[in-house]
Amino acid sequence: MKIFWIVLFFVPTVTIAQTEFGVRFEKELGWKQILSKAKQQNKYIFVDCSASWCIPCKKMEKEVFSLENVGHFINGHFISVHVQMDTSKNDDESIKVWYNDAHNIKKDYQIATFPTYLFFSPNGKIVHRYLFAMPDSLFLKVAENALDTNKQYYTLLNKYLTGQKQYEKLPYLASISKFIGDDSTSKLIATDYLHNYLNKLSESEFFQKKNIDFVSNFSDLLTSKDSAFSLIYKNAVKTDRLIERKDFSENLVFAVVTKEEIDPRLWPDKTPVSIPPDWNQLEETIQKKYNKEVADLVLVNAQMKWYAKKKDKLQLIKYTVKKIDKYGLDTAGVGWAVFNNLAYDLFFKYCNNRDTLNKVIHWMEIVNQNHSDDQANMDTYANLLYKVGRKKEAIQWEEKATELEERAAQKENRGADKSFRETLDKMKNGIPTWVAK
């Protein structure tokens, strides 16, 4: 009996303690009542807009909104409500009574992404907005910004649209606009900031990390006429060091030059021109405005893209080899996987020049050295070896690829890709593994 009473004594205590954790979402109140309560208590309103099918929404409920530190901050400053924006057959009455209000909120604030977080002032005026699942530290930062008039998105936007321009706040405002999907507003603000503030800075004023970060975030707005572009073009090393991104300046310059010099000539209506352009004249034009290095790389990239669009495999092979010969093999990030696909789908399938194939074999050796456990790389390498007549080596590599694939399939409890063993059988029987072109 004593044990029984001890259990009874502690169960309610545990239950009460659990209800104190996490964000307290209002369950019984409608939207008008929420607005009234917020005004009476002088608290902001947090609206978690979700959907019944939204996995990130459920992740936030389970992993963020349930945390004590999140609940402590949100409950202290906000009246919170969870609003399901869609309808489902499993909806209970507490969800159904919100159907009309949910529909109006979704329409009025154009909710198209879930989860979306809306924040309102105690007077019911929307002041801030954010999207997507995130860790608790970032969500708390978002909630803090919703209480700060210098960080509230809609507060800053209203000031901007009524002519109260605070240029030091425009990068933040443009970034939030871009993040929440308001591209037209984002472009308007970013263009204003670029033309009427950033371009007017002296060189010493311009070279701050925050300014380069802005250019990086809105690089599509940059043109060769912008002072910001000229400063970056002339100070590439300084720019890259400041933003801590290798080749950032080079890639930015190439993007602007391509947009202004290549695209209007090669893709005037988003489709390739019918006849090859005068590549020499185009190179000369770009070189006069910039330099030979910029002209060479921009041009070879344009040639590869144009011949790829025209499905001219031989010319694409020619310019791909030209680029790798001059600039080296790009294996940064997923570059190695991209090249593996290129080596197989372009060179192996369509190239019959032995010297070119041997070059590609050498490049694949570099890829294999850095990614020695990838069966796709081994398979490509083996097929290239086989095509140039190095049958014994090809079989050895294809055996490795086949064994690796079958072992991986067994470990992952899936069916093995049969093409590896089929290729191996062809090699052993002297049958071509490629289709004659």
Neighbours of 397 (CB within 10 A): 25
Statement: residue 13 has pLDDT above 70: no
Statement: residue 2 has pLDDT above 70: no
Q: What pLDDT sits at residue 239?
A: 96
Global confidence as pTM? 0.81
Q: What pLDDT sits at residue 70?
A: 97
Please state the rounded mean pLDDT for residues 180-196. Answer: 96
Question: For residues 431 and 423, is the Cβ–Cβ distance under 8 A?
Answer: no
Task: Please name the residue ranges forming H helices in 64-182.
Answer: 68-77, 93-96, 99-108, 136-147, 153-161, 170-179
Q: Please state, for a pLDDT cut of 90, what percent of the chain lies above it.
A: 85
The 8 Å CB, 24+ separation contacts for 315-320 are: 316/346, 317/346, 317/347, 317/350, 317/351, 317/356, 320/346
- Amino acid letter at 349? K
Statement: residue 21 has pLDDT above 90: no
Neighbours of 225 (CB within 10 A): 11
Phi first, then psi: give them for residue 203, nearest 5 degrees: -60, -45
Statement: residue 19 has pLDDT above 60: no
Return all residues near 406 (Cβ < 8 A) that are at least 6 apart.
416, 420, 421
Q: What pLDDT sits at residue 211?
A: 97
Lowest mean pLDDT among 86-90, 191-195, 196-200: 86-90
Domains defined along the chain, listed by start: 31-151 (3.40.30.10), 165-246 (no CATH), 264-327 (no CATH), 329-437 (1.25.40)
Half-sphere exposure of 77 (CA within 13 A, CB side): 19
Helix axis angle for 418-428 and 391-411, nearest 10°, is 160
Model confidence at 6, pLDDT cuts 50, 70, 90, reads very low
- What is the token pair recorded at 94? 């507490």
Higher-pLDDT residue of 436 and 54 is 54
Statement: residue 337 has pLDDT above 70: yes
Lowest mean pLDDT among 42-46, 60-64, 151-155, 411-415: 411-415
Q: What pLDDT sits at residue 148?
A: 97
Q: What pLDDT sits at residue 20?
A: 66
Statement: residue 361 has pLDDT above 80: yes
Q: What pLDDT sits at residue 5?
A: 37
Q: What pLDDT sits at residue 7?
A: 37
Statement: residue 11 has pLDDT above 50: no
Statement: residue 128 has pLDDT above 50: yes
Statement: residue 349 has pLDDT above 60: yes
Question: For residues 253 and 260, is the Cβ–Cβ distance under 8 A?
Answer: no
SS3 127: strand
In whole angstroms, give the CA distance from residue 170 to residue 161. 12
Statement: residue 14 has pLDDT above 50: no
Q: What pLDDT sits at residue 17?
A: 36
- Amino acid letter at 322? K
Please state the rounded mean pLDDT for residues 263-291. Answer: 91
Strand partners, 84: 50
Neighbours of 218 (CB within 10 A): 21
Query: From its phi and psi, is residue 108 left (phi > 0), alpha (psi between -120 and 50) or beta?
Result: alpha
